[in-house]
Amino acid sequence: LPTVYSLDGLLVFGLLLVCTCAYLRKVPRLRTWLLSERRGVWGVCHKAAVIGTRLHVAVSVSCLLMAFYVLVGK
Q: Tens digits of per-residue pLDDT, 24-70?
A: 888 887 777 776 777 877 788 888 888 998 999 999 999 999 999 88
| pLDDT on residue 63 | 92
CB contact set of 8 (below 8 Å; sequence gap of 6+): 2, 66, 69, 70, 74
| pLDDT on residue 54 | 92
| pLDDT on residue 4 | 60
The whole-model pTM stands at: 0.78
